[in-house]
Amino acid sequence: MPSFSRIRAIAEKEVFHILRDSRTLAIIFLMPLLQLIIFGYAMNMEIRQVPLLVDDLAMNSSSRALVSAFVNTDYFVLIAKEAGTLKPDELFRERRAQATLTIPKDFGAFQHRVLLRIDASDPNSAQMIQNYALGIVNSTGVRTEAGIDLRAQILYNPDLKSSFFFVPGLIALILVMVCALLTSISISREKEMGTMEQILVSPVSATEILFGKVIPYLILGLLDALIILAVGMLLFQVPFRGDFSVFLLFTFLYVLTSLCLGLLVSTVAKTQQAAMMMALGLTLLPTLLLSGYMFPITSMPVILQKLTYIIPARYYLQIIRGIMLKGNNIAQLYQAGLSLLSMSVLMLIVAARRFKLRLS
C-alpha cells in the first residue's frame, strides 16, 4: 500500500526544489508566455494588406464601386498606379504586388468579367487571396458567371479568425511541453545528483515516488493552463463559451497525461540533458503535426491518422476547442477525456514497472 506520509514527504521536497530553482520557475512561467506570444503572432495564417494593383479600364461607377469594395477591407492595399506600366509578371517577380485586378472597358454595362491574377508562389496565400477576392466580389452584388448564388453561414468563428483556431491549440501544445519537461528532469536530476540512490535504499516504493513527483506539478500545470488561457484570451480576444469547471476537469486530465509522459521519459533517460531532449522531441513536433493542431487529421494518410490516436493533444484539442468555441459540455467530451485518462494510467503503470526494473 502506498503510504500517504511518504508521498507527502516527497511532494514537499519537490516544492522546495521548484521554489528555489530559477530554471524550473522559468520553464513554468516564462516559457509558456514567450511561446504564446511568439507562436501566437508568428503562426498567423490570415493574410492582411495584400499589395494589389488595379488596372481599371472602365473608370465608371460600377468599376469604382468594385475597387472601393476591395480597398475598404483590411485584406488589400492598392499600390501606386505608376507601377501599372509594368507587366504583372514583373510586378510579381519584384514582389511589388501579390495580385492584380484588371477591369475591362465595358464593365458594368454588358461585361461582368474581371480578371484577377494571383502570385501563387505561396499557394496557401494565393488560395486565401482568391477566397477573399471572391467574397468581396460577391458582396458587391455583381453576379458571377455561373449564376449560382452561394451564401455560406459560418458558425463559431464567423470572421474566420485564425487566432480562434490557434490559441486553443497553443494551450494544448504548451501544456504538454511544459508538463512533460518538468517531470522528465525532476527524476533524471536525482539520478544525476546521486540522490536517487539514497531514495532507492529506503522503503519508498516506485508508486510513492511517482505520486510524490506528480502531485506538485499537477497543481503547477493547472496554474499554467489558467495563465495561458487568460493571456491567450487577453491578447487574441478568443471567446470562452463553455463552462469553466468543465475546462478545469478536462485540463486536469490532460496535464496528468503530460506529466505521466514526462515520468516515462525520465525512467528511460539517464541525464537531465537527454531527458529534456526526449521530452521535447516527443511533444513538440508530434503535437504540432499530428494532433490536428495545424493540419486536419482527416486529410492525413491512414497510417498517420492511426498514429494520431497516441498523441494526447489530439484529444485535448477536441476538448479545448469544443469548450472555448462551441461551449461543449461533459457529455460531448467524455470520450476524449476517457482516452486521456487511460493514457495516463497506462503510462504510469509502465513508468512504475520500468522504475522497479532499474533496481535489479
3-11, 27-35, 37-45, 171-179 -> range binding other proteins (CB under 8 A):
3-11
Instruction: Closer to other proteins by CB, 270 or 326: give it.
Output: 270
8-16, 150-158, 317-325, 330-338 -> range binding other proteins (CB under 8 A):
8-16
Cβ-count burial 37-70 (b if 16+ within 10 Å, e if not): eebbeebeeebeebbbbbebebeeebbeebbebb
For residue 220, the minimal CB distance to other proteins (Å) is 17
The SS3 call for residue 76 is strand
Those residues whose C-beta lies under 8 Å from the C-beta of residue 194, and which sit 6 or more positions away, are: none
Binding of residue 274 to other proteins (CB under 8 A): no
Q: 10 Å Cβ neighbour count for 32?
A: 23
Sole residue written with cell 495545424: 294
Instruction: Closer to other proteins by CB, 147 or 194: give it.
Output: 194
For residue 290, the minimal CB distance to other proteins (Å) is 37
10-18, 138-146, 173-181, 259-267 -> range binding other proteins (CB under 8 A):
10-18
CB 54 within 8 Å of CB 70: yes
Instruction: Closer to other proteins by CB, 21 or 122: give it.
Output: 21
Q: 10 Å Cβ neighbour count for 202?
A: 11
Binding of residue 10 to other proteins (CB under 8 A): yes
Can you tell me the distance from the alpha carbon of 208 to that of 218, in angstroms, rounded to the nearest whole number? 15
For residue 261, the minimal CB distance to other proteins (Å) is 25
Can you tell me the distance from the alpha carbon of 60 to that of 141, in angstroms, rounded to the nearest whole number? 16
Site string (13-32) toward other proteins, x via CB under 8 A: x--xx--xx-----------
Among 60, 241, 248, 360, binds other proteins (CB under 8 A): 360
Can you tell me the distance from the alpha carbon of 121 to that of 119, in angstroms, rounded to the nearest whole number? 6
Instruction: Closer to other proteins by CB, 201 or 234: give it.
Output: 201
For residue 193, the minimal CB distance to other proteins (Å) is 7
For residue 95, the minimal CB distance to other proteins (Å) is 54
Q: Phi and psi for 264 in degrees, rounded to 5?
A: -60, -45
Q: Which amino acid is at 216?
A: P
Binding of residue 5 to other proteins (CB under 8 A): yes
Instruction: Closer to other proteins by CB, 17 or 87: give it.
Output: 17
Stretch 41-60 residues interacting with other proteins (CB under 8 A): none
Instruction: Closer to other proteins by CB, 5 or 245: give it.
Output: 5
Instruction: Closer to other proteins by CB, 13 or 354: give it.
Output: 13
Instruction: Closer to other proteins by CB, 17 or 143: give it.
Output: 17
Asked whether the CA dihedral 257, 263, 267, 269 is positive or negative, the reply is positive
For residue 218, the minimal CB distance to other proteins (Å) is 20
Size of the site for other proteins (CB under 8 A): 25
All three cell numbers of 198, joined, read 539514497
Cβ-count burial 297-334 (b if 16+ within 10 Å, e if not): beebeeeeeebbeebbbbbbbbbbbbbbbeebeeebbe
115-118/50-56 β-pairing: unpaired
Binding of residue 271 to other proteins (CB under 8 A): no
Binding of residue 321 to other proteins (CB under 8 A): no
For residue 34, the minimal CB distance to other proteins (Å) is 25
Stretch 180-239 residues interacting with other proteins (CB under 8 A): 193-195, 197-204
Instruction: Closer to other proteins by CB, 202 or 305: give it.
Output: 202
CA dist 266 to 37, 41, 58, 173, Å? 29, 33, 70, 20
List of residues contacting other proteins (CB under 8 A): 3, 5-6, 8-10, 12-13, 16-17, 20-21, 193-195, 197-204, 359-360
